[in-house]
Structure 1
Amino acid sequence: LFNRLFSCGLEFLLVLCGLELSWSCPRHCICYTAPSTVSCQAHNFLSVPEGIPPDSERIFLQNNKIHRLLRGHFSSTTVTLWIYSNNITYIEPSTFHGFTLLEELDLGDNRHLRSLAADTFHGLGRLHALHLYRCGLSALPNNIFQGLRNLQYLYLQDNHLKFLQDDTFVDLHNLSHLFLHGNRLWSLHQNTFRGLRALDRLLLHQNQIQWVDRLAFHDLKRLTTLYLFNNSLIELSGQCLDTLPALEYLRLNDNPWSCDCKALSLWEWLKRFRGSTSSVGCQAPADMVGKDLKQLQKEDFPNCSPTVPNSESRAQSKTSNLSGTVNPSMNGGVAVGSGGQTRIVHPSRPGRSRNCTKPRNRANKGKADNEVHHSKEVMADKEDSSPDFTDGGKYDHTSPDGTITRRKHKCTPRTTVRPPSGVQQANNRATLPQSLLCLYALLGALVTINIDYILR
C-alpha cells in the first residue's frame, strides 16, 4: 500500500512541478527531460563525464577543466552544447560529425585550443551560433566554415588571428553578426568578406589594420555597423565606404590618420554620410595634429586634386553601369553606389593598386600610449545574455564615446539566439532549479503523510 501511495504521489508531484526527472544521469550533474538536458557546470571535471543520456538535447559543461573532445562523447541528437571556459587543447575532427540537429555550439574561452581541423564543423547545417572567442587561434583553416549556411552569429574575437584567407566566409549566406575585434589582423583584401550579403554588424576594432583593399566591403550591402577604431589606419578611401549603402554606424577613432591629400576622399565621404560617426583625429601633418578630419573645411586641402567626379561623369555612370561593380570599359574607373546613386571613381594614377590604404612597413609600426584609446566592446557573459540589441544585454555594444549603440530597425528583424529555457545560466556555483526545490519540498510532505498513515 505504501509503495502504491508513494508511486502515485510522486507522479502527482512531477506533474504539479511541471518536471519529469531523468533517472540516467552522470554523477554530480543535474538531468531532466522535456527537453532532455544534462547540466554539469562548474564541477572541475577533467574529461567529459560518462553516463550522459544518449537522447540529450542540451548539454552544459561550462566552467570545468576538460582537456579533450573526442568522437562518441556526445550524441547526434544534441541541439545545444556549451563547453566554454574549460582547458580544451584538442578536438578530434570527427567529434561533431553527424550532428545535423546542432543549433548552438559554444567553445569559447578555451585559451589553449590554438588550432582546429578544417572539417571540425562540416555537416552542421542547422548551426546558427558558433562561439570561438578567446581560444588562442592564430589561423583559420581553409573551408573551416564550409556548408554553415544557417549560421547567424560567429564569435572570433580576442584570438591571435593575423590573416584571413580569401573566401573564408563565402558559405555564410545568412551570417548577420561577425565579431573579429581584439585580434592581430593587419590587412583586409578584396575577397576577405565575399559572400556575406546578409551581414549586419562587422566589428574589427582593436586589431592592427593598416591596409584595406578598395573593394574589401563590396558584398556587404546590408551592413549597418562597422567598427574600425583602435587600429593602425593612416588613410581610408571614401570609395571603400561608398560600397556600404545601408551603413548607419561607423567608428574610426584612435587611428593615426594623416589629414593631407590622402584624406580628401574620406573627408568628402564623411560630408555626405548621414549616419553616426566617431571623431577622426589627425596625427599628421604637423599643422593638423589634434584636429578632427570631420571638422576640416575645403580650404584645408588647398593643393589637393578633387576626387569627386564632375556632373557629366556622374550622369554617364548612371546610364552605363548600375551594378556597383567594376566596368572594364570605363578607362579603369570603378563604379560605386551610395544612397541610391551610382558614380564613376577614377584611380588617381594609372596602374595604381586598388586599395583604400597605403601599405606601410609593418616593422616600423608602433603607437605611443597617448595614441591608443582602449574602447571596449561590451560582451556580457551568458549569465546576463540577451540577444536583442535594442533591449541591451549580450549582443549590445559600447561605442567609443561610452554610449550604447542602438541600431535602427531598417531591415527585417533576424532570428535571435535566446538562452535555453529551464536551466541555470553559467556561473561558478551549481544550483538546483526551482522546480527541483519544489519537488523535494512536496516529496517530504508526502512521505510525512504516508508514515503517519502507516502508524495509525
Structure 2
Amino acid sequence: MKGHWLLVLSVVLLIYAVHGCPHKCLCYTTSKTADCKNRGFTEIPAHLPPEIQILQLQNNRIWRINQNSFTGTPLLKILDLSNNSLSSLAPGAFQKLRYLQVLNLTRNLIHYIENKTFSFLPHLKELDLSSNSIIRLPESFGNSTGNITLLSVKHNKLQKMERVLLESLPNLKVVLFKDNPWQCNCNVFGLKLWLESFLYRGGISDGIICSTPGIRKGKDLLKVPYELFGACPLRTAHVHLASIHHHSFEHRSSPKHAHHSEHGEYGRSNCEPKPKPRPVSLRHAIATVVITGVICGIVCLMMLAAAVYGCAYAAITAKYHREHLAPVKQHGTPEEKEPFDGSLA
C-alpha cells in the first residue's frame, strides 16, 4: 500500500514538472524563478509557469524572439538573455512584459535597434545592450520607456548617438559609453552638450573617448574645445545651439539665416569655416563669474590698503612738520644766530 502511494505521488510530481516547467529548466516556486541557462535553447522555451518573475536564459543559442514569445509570462520583472545569438530584435518583441524592470541583452550579435523596440515597458529601469555589434541606435526606444535609470551601450560599434534619444530618458542616472569608435566631429556636438548637462545634474558616466579623427584620438570628448566645432556646417550648429540656448550667452539664429542654412548648406558634406561665438556652458559661466569676483575683491583690498597706508603716511608727515620743522623756521637755533651776531661786531 505504501509503495502504491509513492507511485501515485511520483506520477503527480512528474505531471506537475512536465506541465509546470519546460524540459531542461528548473523552476522555483518560492523565488518565482525559471532557471533555463546553459540548456542549448535556440528559441524562448514554451509552457513557462505564468507566475514567474525572473527568467534566466543566458548562455544559450537563442537567435530570435517572436512577438508572442512572452505571452504566457506577463509578470516577468527580470529577463536575462545575455550570451546568446540574437542578431536583431523585432519591434514589439517585449510588449507583453508590462512589469519588466531589468532587461539584459549583453554579449549577443545585435547590429542595430529599431525604433520603438522596447515599446510598452513602463516599468523598465535597467537596459543593458553592452558587448554587441550595434552600429546605430534609434531616436526612441519606444513609448513609455521614460523610467529607464541605467543604460549601457559600451563595447559596441557606435560612432555617434542621437541626443534626442537621451533626452527621451528623463530619469536616466547612469549611462555607460566605453569602448565604442566614437567619431568626434560635427555629429557628436549635440552629444557633448547633453553629456555636460547630464554630469552637471549629478549623472554618472564613464565618458566618451574619441576614436576619430586622428588628431583627437584618445581624447575625452568633454575636453575637446568648442572652437573645434566652430567649422561645422551652419545647419548643424544652429539646430544644436537653438535647442540649448540656456547653455549659451549668445548665438541666436535669425529666420533669414535659418532659411539659408536649410537650402544652401544642408547638402554640404564638408565643414566650412564660419566665424561663430563660442557657446559657453553654464559651468564655465559660473567659474568665470567666481574667478572675476575673486580678482575684483583682491584688487579692491589692495586699493583699500594703499589708501589707508597713504593716509597714515600723510598724517605722520604732517605731524612731523608741525612738531619739528615749524619752530626751526620761525626762531632758529642758538647755533644759527651766533655767526650772524659776530659778523655785525
**TM-score if structure 2 supplies the norm length?**
0.61
Q: Does the CA-based 8 Å contact 2:99-2:122 persist in structure 1? A: yes
- Structure (1 or 2) with the greater helix fraction: 2
Aligned residue for 1:171? 96
Q: Does the CA-based 8 Å contact 1:218-1:244 persist in structure 2? A: no
Aligned residue for 1:301? 229
Instruction: Measure the CA separation in 2 of the matches of 1:175 and 1:279.
Output: 28
Aligned residue for 1:255? 180
Matches within 5 A, 1:201-280: 201-216=126-141, 218-273=143-198, 274=201, 275-280=203-208
Instruction: Measure the CA separation in 1 of the matches of 2:168 and 2:262.
Output: 21
Q: Please state how far the C-alpha of 1:103 moved relative to its aligned partner.
A: 3.0
Aligned residue for 2:242? 310
Q: Which runs of 5+ in 2 are unaligned?
A: 247-260, 264-345
Deviations 1:143-196 (A, max 9, x none): 101253211010100001000001001111110000100101011111211111
> Does residue 143 of structure 2 align to residue 143 of structure 1?
no
> Does residue 222 of structure 2 align to residue 290 of structure 1?
no
Q: Which runs of 5+ in 1 are unaligned?
A: 1-22, 27-49, 56-70, 85-95, 315-347, 351-456
Q: Alpha carbon RMSD of aligned pairs, Å?
A: 3.5
Change (3 A) 1:281 1:82: same
Residue 105 of structure 1: SS of its match in structure 2?
Answer: strand
Aligned residue for 1:157? 82
Deviations 1:211-231 (A, max 9, x none): 111112553111111110000
Instruction: Measure the CA separation in 2 of the matches of 1:169 and 1:278.
Output: 28
From 41, 44, 54, the counterpart of 2:12: 54
Q: Please state how far the C-alpha of 1:279 moved relative to its aligned partner.
A: 2.1
**Which of these two proteins has the greater Rg computed from alpha carbons?**
2
From 9, 20, 25, the counterpart of 1:83: 25
Higher relative contact order (CA 8 A, sep 6+): 1
Change (3 A) 1:265 1:218: farther
Residue 196 of structure 2: SS of its match in structure 1?
Answer: helix
Aligned residue for 2:275? none
Q: Does the CA-based 8 Å contact 1:82-1:105 persist in structure 2? A: no
Q: Does the CA-based 8 Å contact 1:239-1:265 persist in structure 2? A: no
Q: Please state how far the C-alpha of 1:295 moved relative to its aligned partner.
A: 2.3
Q: Please state how far the C-alpha of 1:197 moved relative to its aligned partner.
A: 1.1
> Does residue 34 of structure 2 align to residue 105 of structure 1?
yes
Deviations 1:233-257 (A, max 9, x none): 0000111100001100100010000
Change (3 A) 1:221 1:116: closer
Aligned residue for 2:316? none
Residue 130 of structure 1: SS of its match in structure 2?
Answer: strand
Q: Does the CA-based 8 Å contact 1:151-1:174 persist in structure 2? A: yes
Matches within 5 A, 1:112-151: 112-116=40-44, 120-121=46-47, 124-151=49-76
> Does residue 119 of structure 2 align to residue 194 of structure 1?
yes
How many residues align? The count is: 239
Structure 1 window deviating more from structure 2 (199-208 vs 144-153): it is: 144-153
Matches within 5 A, 1:16-55: 52=10, 54=12
Deviations 1:272-322 (A, max 9, x none): 1030011211111111111011222311211123233537999xxxxxxxx
Aligned residue for 1:441? none
Residue 166 of structure 2: SS of its match in structure 1?
Answer: helix
Change (3 A) 1:75 1:247: same
Percent of aligned positions that are identical: 24
Q: Which amino acid aligns with 1:246?
A: N
